[in-house]
Structure 1
Amino acid sequence: MDNTKAYQCLSVIDPLPELIQRTNKYLLDLRLAKWITQKQYEQLSIKPNEVELAHLYYLPKAHKPGTRLRSIISGLRHPTVKISKYLDNLLRPLFDQMASNTTVTSGFELTKKLQEWSTVNIRQDTTICTIDVTNLYTMIPQIEGVLSLRKMLDLLKLKQVGK
């Protein structure tokens, strides 16, 4: 977690009220500028009794020697989770469309893809590997993430999403 500087220990000051206020103000600004509808504004607005700050806990890595721990940040009730889910629902179909040829989601699908690829471009000496990315989402700088999204929309020749 120290690698990304995405998280920090909190002092005695609770940042939650300010985070709620800033997020709701931003949503109101989007509504007044007609970037989102009234219905979207109402769905995404934060009610203080429904949210809490993300918290850290650890789970043991049972499959690793020496009782190593995996840190987990739980943000299921974080103030921005509704916005995250909204964006995921909006963008997921576009991403899935673009990545469908290179994405494998199950062992069955892997077997099917390997058979398909073997007729085209996999040779006997081809090496197949997997990777494990640590802190994936916090390692993506926000500006580069937005630029990648813009590039995806340009490749799909979309000016707007969700209408």
Structure 2
Amino acid sequence: MEKTKAYKCLGTTDPLPDLIQRTNKYLLDLGLAKWITQNQYETICVNSNEVELAHLYYLPKVYKPGTPLRPIISGLKNPTVKISKFLDELLRPPFDKMAFKTTVTSGFELFKQLKRWCSNNMCQETTFCIIDVVDLYTMVPQIEGVLSLRKMLNYLKLKQIGGLKIETIIRLSRFVMQNNYFSYNGQYYHQIQGGAMGSPLTLI
């Protein structure tokens, strides 16, 4: 965690109660300003009995020399996860459509595309390589991540998705990106760079 500089230690004070309160207030303010509907508010607001703070654990990368550990932040019940899922459902169809020609969805699909590519483009000098991106989820600055989302939506010339204005989507995305908290070994942390690993929004 120290290597990436992506996490700020908050000590032993649990940020969950404040996060619940801030999330619901933010959503209520959006609703009162007519940025989201009452139904949308009820879909993504936080029920304090259903949420818990994300927690960090590690899985070994057995296929790598020295068996390094992969950090996993499990946030299935995080206060912002409903917003993240809601945004993913809105953004996934236009994103998949835009990225269709450059996206590989499975090993079988990769094999088919390589076979097709080799039949037309393979030559003696062709070199295949594998790139392993280190610390993928923490290397993208949060502001730039949200700006990239706006750039994609502008490129697609979309004014709204699912009845939600683009500006509302951007505001909700920014809130999700900036409010990732988790616990580890009795301490609490705030992610100040990148997006939460496994968050539906981060996967876009």
Q: Mark yes or no: TM-score above 0.5.
A: yes
- Percent identical among aligned pairs is 72
What is the TM-score when the length of structure 1 is the normalising length? 0.87
The RMSD of aligned alpha carbons is: 2.0
The question of 1:72 aligning with 2:72 is answered yes
Give the distance between the partners of 1:59 and 1:72, measured in 2 at CA.
Answer: 7
- Deviating above 4 A after TM superposition, structure 1's stretches of 4 or more consecutive aligned residues are 119-122
Partner of 2:191: none
Partner of 1:112: 112
- Across the two proteins, how many residue pairs are aligned to each other? 163
Q: CA deviation at 1:73?
A: 1.3
Partner of 2:141: 141
Partner of 1:89: 89
Alignment CA distance shift 1:101-1:60 (3 Å): same
Q: CA deviation at 1:121?
A: 4.3
Alignment CA distance shift 1:6-1:128 (3 Å): same
Structure 2: stretches of 5+ with no match in the other structure: 164-204
SS class of match (2:160):
coil
1:53-100 deviation per Cα after TM superposition (whole angstroms, max 9, x unaligned): 111112223333444322221111111111111111111111111111
Higher relative contact order (CA 8 A, sep 6+): 2
Structure 1: stretches of 5+ with no match in the other structure: none
SS class of match (2:8):
coil
What is the TM-score when the length of structure 2 is the normalising length? 0.71
